Structure 1
Amino acid sequence: MTGGEPKRPFFRPPHDEDEWEWRHRLRANAGTRLGLRLVVAVVGLVLVLGGFALVPLPGPGWLIVILGLAVWASEIEPASDLLEWVKRQVRRWERWVKAQSRGVQALVVLVTFAFVAGVLWLTFRLTGLPGFLPDGLTRWLEANLAL
């Protein structure tokens, strides 16, 4: 932001052409506007914290964090800016990987796989194997991976 630009509000104001009608109605009343913002803040926080808790595990941890940011971005301007920054970084990473040779791409996949496998091994080592695994697989994992 340069010195001559007006400061943007922390919470997004309603937009006439691109907002849903129910949002207009909620934002029209001070009480429901506050309620909407609180719901957005809490739902976004649950998603972001839950996503961060899942990041070291295989699965959609980062996707859930980004979803939480998207929820926040629907009402909170700084979250919208952060979400746009995250999108730019993901696109940048994607372009970088695509521009690399097949060998480097394979190495990225291998390192990612090794990281996920290491996190799974550590998780199972600390917490034990889940009970839903078939007995034969459980015995093999215990015998061959020191779980």
Structure 2
Amino acid sequence: MPIQDSETGDADAIKGESADRSSMPERRSGIHGWLDGVRSTRAGRLTLKIVIGTIGAIMVVGGLIMVPFPGPGWLIVFAGLAVLATEFHWARRALEFGKRVLHDWTEWYKRQGWPIRVIVLIVTIAAAAVIVYVGLRTLGIDLIELAQRFI
């Protein structure tokens, strides 16, 4: 039989032992609530893992293909890892590792003087140019031959 708490008027206090509602998980709203609902069944969990795994894998592989070319290759790889991290612990660890390495790299780069920064820029541009040249060459487009025609 519930005994009313004299201080708060709470009827849930039972003989010195209150029903602590704060220990119950709070129902989330929005996308998180929807995902919790999907995860509440075995079929939903499996389906969600398959869908998230497929979308994330496509993004990571697509991003890795784009990495050598100018554009957002690494950004797409990290976005794909973020998608995978919603369901897979290993992806969360890989994403954290990648963010840590990127942060360390940018901090190292900021500490360098202008000669090192210029060298890094030149090497980056040269590597991108070689990769684009080789990529176009495999498609049958020779940029050097095209340039010689115009000279």
| TM-score grouping bracket, smaller chain normalisation | 0.7 to 0.9
Match of 1:89 in 2: 101
- The one-letter code of the counterpart of 1:121 is Y
| 1:2-31 deviations in Å (ceiling 9; x for gaps) | xxxxxxxxxxxxx96697111111111111
Match of 2:8 in 1: none
- List gaps (5 residues or longer) in structure 1: 1-14, 130-137
Q: TM-score if structure 2 supplies the norm length?
A: 0.73
Q: Report the count of equivalent residues.
A: 124
**Identity of counterpart residues, as a percentage?**
35
> Which has the higher mean CA deviation after the structures are superposed, 83-92 or 47-56?
47-56
Q: TM-score if structure 1 supplies the norm length?
A: 0.75
Match of 2:12 in 1: none
Match of 1:26 in 2: 38
Q: 1:103 aligns with which of 115, 121, 137?
A: 115
Higher relative contact order (CA 8 A, sep 6+): 1
Match of 1:142 in 2: 146
Q: What RMSD in Å do the two structures reach over aligned CA positions?
A: 2.6
Match of 2:55 in 1: 43
- List gaps (5 residues or longer) in structure 2: 1-25
| 1:44-93 deviations in Å (ceiling 9; x for gaps) | 11111111111221111121111111111011111101110100000000
- The one-letter code of the counterpart of 1:40 is I
Structure (1 or 2) with the larger CA radius of gyration: 2
Asked whether the 8 Å contact 2:27–2:33 carries over to 1, the reply is no
Between the aligned partners of 2:86 and 2:54, the Cα distance in structure 1 is 13
